[in-house]
Chain A
Amino acid sequence: QVRLVESGGGVVQPGGSLRLSCAASGFTFSSYGLHWVRQAPGKGLEWVAFIPHDGSGEYYADFVKGRFTISRDNSKNTLYLKMDSLRTEDTAVHYCAKGDGGSGSPDYWGQGTLVTVSS
């Protein structure tokens, strides 16, 4: 079965950096695009970034452009999100999600990792 396990969350000061990881299993990792989606405490879901199956491009929401970098290592079945210049408003649970093979929309989700940006 598809399994996605995020890690790397924690508390960081404003302006700081953090790298999230998402370890995947149960499907052919190199065949699917992957997403990062976040959810601030008590708020709704926000799409953050997408990377195609072969890492041939990176696509971002406007609010993270230039600050976050999505990447993947198909040899390790792992997705990453490098977050720089963090702001208090980036505080959220960050989920990784597998993209559907057709439309690319998120289908399977991990349990999320909490990032808290606070001084």
Chain B
Amino acid sequence: GQQVMQIPQYQHVQEGEDFTTYCNSSTTLSNIQWYKQRPGGHPVFLIQLVKSGEVKKQKRLTFQFGEAKKNSSLHITATQTTDVGTYFCAGGSNSGYALNFGKGTSLLVTP
């Protein structure tokens, strides 16, 4: 079945440094979604990418979808303490609508 791998598992940065998390799928995805879960909270939808090679930006966050639609990345420029949390990618398949989530990358930002 479809597997979504995400690296790194943890990342600790100083405030102001950049951060990137990567997501790879064993199969071609119909779309990729990114979610953020704050400590003690629940996953909250951030963005969805559908087209091959698509790039989307949300303020300091940049999301990319690979040309083969098998990988994706989330890059945060100049991290802030409010960026702390776990970032999950979730892949959609072409055979169903349920999402397969990666293990997530837990980001810790120290002032």
A and B associate:
no
Chain A contact residues, CB within 8 Å of chain B: none
